[in-house]
Amino acid sequence: MSEQETVDRINAMLAEMPPLAAAALVQQWHKDAARMGAQALEPPPLMRAPEFPWGLHGLNATVARYECRQPGCSTVYLEQADELPGPLTLPANFTADDVSAAITAQADERSQLRLDRVQQAFTEHYRTEHPEALEEIHGTPSPAAR
């Protein structure tokens, strides 16, 4: 099956579904895209790559768990990966490809914002708990390390 055939079938399927069900399905695609985005992004050196301790399906499936990278440190940060997506930016006469691209772009953007928040949280944690490591990673002396 070609990509276009797939898109056509998805469009046909969505058109036949009750609007609420179609919206729920599209929202599920958002979630999937957000998860893939979270997994694809290179984690900063402060924390390990995210795990999804509640699995990838069902309730709580979108909570990502980030662990401090320092040996012996058990600090964990949980981040809700599933904010409600905002409106999509679509051209007039958009196609399913445009929708797919817009969902992916939006998910990428939210993944980056999420990673920024996690990074911020871990930077705070490092300032108090691992100032030497922070200095090593960023190459700048931290005030707490002096």
- DSSP state letter for 58: S
The enclosing H or E element of 78 equals strand 76-80
The interface region with Zn ion, picked from 16-24, 39-47, 67-75, 92-100 by CB under 5 A, is 67-75
* Residue from 27, 39, 75, 142 binding Zn ion (CB under 5 A): 75
Q: Closest approach of Cβ 76 to Zn ion, in Å?
A: 9
Confirm or reject binding of residue 123 to Zn ion (CB under 5 A): no
Long-range contacts, stretch 89-97, CB < 8 angstroms, 24+ apart: 95/7, 96/7, 96/8, 96/10, 96/11, 97/7
Structure tokens at 119: 């990074």
What is the rounded distance in angstroms from the CA atom of residue 55 to the CA atom of residue 112? 21
Would you say 7 or 73 has its CB closer to Zn ion?
73
Confirm or reject binding of residue 33 to Zn ion (CB under 5 A): no
Confirm or reject binding of residue 68 to Zn ion (CB under 5 A): yes
The interface region with Zn ion, picked from 32-40, 72-80, 96-104, 107-115 by CB under 5 A, is 72-80
Confirm or reject binding of residue 70 to Zn ion (CB under 5 A): yes
Would you say 35 or 77 has its CB closer to Zn ion?
77
* Residue from 22, 63, 73, 102 binding Zn ion (CB under 5 A): 73
Confirm or reject binding of residue 64 to Zn ion (CB under 5 A): no
The enclosing H or E element of 76 equals strand 76-80
Structure tokens at 81: 């990966």
What is the rounded distance in angstroms from the CA atom of residue 65 to the CA atom of residue 32? 16
Confirm or reject binding of residue 69 to Zn ion (CB under 5 A): no
Q: Which residues bind Zn ion (CB under 5 A)?
A: 68, 70, 73, 75, 129
